């Protein structure tokens, strides 16, 4: 069954941020983050119905002998008239409806001389199948017969004599109904075995994801355990929630080693309720060339009044020094020289910008007289930098959100549609590297799996 082969593959999928820069991110080991991915899973009963329909042929039963069953002079054939239909019950059970067309032929006579007449009629057969999802990744069913409903009762017309054969037909149908129960349970047991697919999924996603070629960034997801809520049965679908506790690690530089493969999946845990959101950390990067471009657009050729004289910024650039962003501004006029304003980068959620905090100022000038204006100039330029300069993150946030939601809203395999939505996405930590600024972004999102066309 296709959805069994893929639902657990996708249960371990996690997504990643995108980055666009020509600069290479320095090697940095991001923190190891424990999180949980929670995915509501919806399985239409039409999918399980296809399992049963594929296991039950159109011609269900055939008796071609007049002389068997104590020379009953009776033949019968039974077909499905339409696909078998499933409806969800209220006690983790499935109600199964099998519409049948029956052809019967009966002989009447004595001493080996018989007159034969045939008829065709319809009935509906009912079953009740109780499902038990075990924590070793298998599902067992216990299917019981629930009787018949005659659409038209079987009667043989011999002209002056009409002979009802309901009892003969029901006897055959009851025997077949018992066999159907075993067939349904056998097919369910063989098809609904998740163990091998859980192992495959676990091992596939032990391989690191190359999430950014520009920055040679890798995302490694290590599943820890799986939690599943009890199955909920509705009229046309079964719902459950799958929660995967994971460690996600981001690496830059060379590809990290894969986790050791497993040969068998550990038992999952049944829990009554799972959160409907999960946390994932991704990264977005801003090179210092872009940070410099932003500063030049804001401050280049800008003039300031100091003691009635003008100070003009003629050049400006941005780079990193240890854990601080350095803004180097060249000025001319009343204050001629280089000003160095440094600060620790932080995220301002109100401005949606990376701004500087704990700023420091230093002025280098060859004119000793200009140093008397340092305090006045410092107050003006530092205030300007603190209030006006910032690296906008809204575009990065929107781009990351778009990338994640594109990854969440795809049909990765035929018949399996994944729907997801990002609720909040914002930088949590700001890191510096020789080539730029890295924003570590916390993402809160939801996922939902819809299985169709099994």
What's the pLDDT tens digit per position in 93-109? 999 998 999 888 877 77
The 3-state secondary structure of 146-212 reads EEEEECCCCEEECCCCEEECHHHHHHHHHHHHHHHHHHHHHHHHHHCECHHHHHHHHHHCCCCEEEE
CA 285 to chain CA centroid, Å, is 25
- Residue 39: what pLDDT? 73
Position 25 pLDDT exceeds 50: no
Helices 45-55, 166-191: crossing angle, 10 deg rounding: 120
- Sorting pLDDT into bands at 50, 70 and 90, what band is 32? confident
Q: What is the pTM of this model?
A: 0.59
SS3 48: helix
What's the pLDDT tens digit per position in 425-447? 888 889 888 888 888 888 888 87
Position 272 pLDDT exceeds 80: yes
- Give Cβ neighbours of residue 442 (< 8 Å, ≥ 6 apart): 279, 280, 281, 424, 425, 426, 427, 428
DSSP letter string over 341-389? EEEEEEEETTTTEEEEEEEEEEEE-S-GGGGGGHHHHHHHHHHHHHHH-
Residues facing 285 on adjacent strands: 438
Structural domains of the chain, with CATH: 46-191 (3.15.10)
- Residue 367: what pLDDT? 65
- Residue 13: what pLDDT? 32
CA-based nearest residue to 384, from 352, 356, 354, 351: 356
Percentage of the chain modeled with pLDDT above 70: 83
Taking CA atoms, 403 is separated from 17, 18, 219, 354, in Å, by: 7, 7, 15, 21
């Amino acid at each position: 069954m296709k959805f069994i082969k893929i639902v657990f593959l996708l249960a371990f999928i996690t997504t990643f941020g995108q980055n666009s820069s020509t600069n290479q991110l320095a090697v940095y080991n991001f923190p190891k983050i424990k999180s949980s991915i929670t995915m509501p899973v919806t399985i239409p009963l039409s999918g399980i119905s296809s399992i049963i329909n594929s296991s039950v042929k159109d011609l269900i039963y055939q008796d071609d002998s007049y002389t068997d069953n104590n020379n009953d002079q009776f033949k019968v054939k039974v077909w499905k008239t339409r696909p078998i239909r499933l409806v969800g019950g209220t006690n983790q059970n499935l109600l199964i409806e099998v519409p049948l067309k029956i052809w019967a032929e009966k002989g009447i006579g004595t001493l080996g001389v018989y007159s034969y007449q045939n008829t065709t009629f319809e009935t509906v057969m009912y079953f009740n199948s109780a499902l038990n999802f075990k924590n070793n990744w298998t599902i067992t069913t216990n299917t019981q017969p629930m009787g018949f409903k005659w659409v038209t009762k079987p009667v043989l017309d011999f002209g002056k004599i009409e002979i009802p054969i309901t009892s003969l037909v029901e006897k055959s149908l009851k025997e077949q109904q018992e066999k159907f129960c075993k067939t349904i349970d056998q097919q369910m047991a063989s098809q609904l075995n998740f163990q091998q697919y859980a192992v495959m999924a676990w091992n596939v996603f032990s391989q690191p994801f190359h999430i950014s070629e520009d920055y040679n960034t890798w995302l490694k997801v290590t599943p820890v355990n799986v939690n599943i809520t009890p199955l909920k049965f509705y009229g046309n679908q079964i719902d459950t929630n799958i929660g995967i506790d994971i460690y996600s690690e981001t690496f830059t530089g060379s590809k990290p080693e894969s986790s050791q493969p497993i040969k068998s999946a550990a038992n999952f845990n049944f829990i009554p309720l799972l959160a409907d959101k999960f946390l994932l950390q991704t990264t977005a990067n801003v090179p210092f060339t872009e940070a410099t471009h932003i500063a030049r657009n804001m401050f280049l050729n800008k003039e300031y009044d100091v003691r009635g004289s003008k100070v003009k910024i003629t050049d400006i650039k941005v780079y990193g020094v240890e854990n601080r962003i350095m803004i180097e501004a060249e000025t001319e006029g009343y204050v001629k020289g280089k000003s160095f304003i440094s600060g620790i980068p932080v995220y301002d959620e109100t401005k949606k910008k990376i701004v500087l905090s704990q700023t420091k100022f230093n002025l280098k000038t060859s004119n000793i007289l200009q140093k008397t204006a340092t305090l006045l100039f410092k107050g003006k330029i530092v205030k300007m930098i603190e209030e006006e300069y910032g690296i906008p993150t809204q575009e990065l946030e929107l781009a990351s959100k778009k990338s994640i939601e594109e990854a969440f809203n795809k049909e990765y395999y035929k018949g399996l549609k994944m729907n997801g939505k990002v609720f909040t996405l914002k930088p949590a930590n700001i890191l510096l590297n020789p080539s730029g600024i890295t924003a570590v972004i916390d993402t809160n999102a939801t996922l939902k799996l819809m299985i169709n066309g099994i």
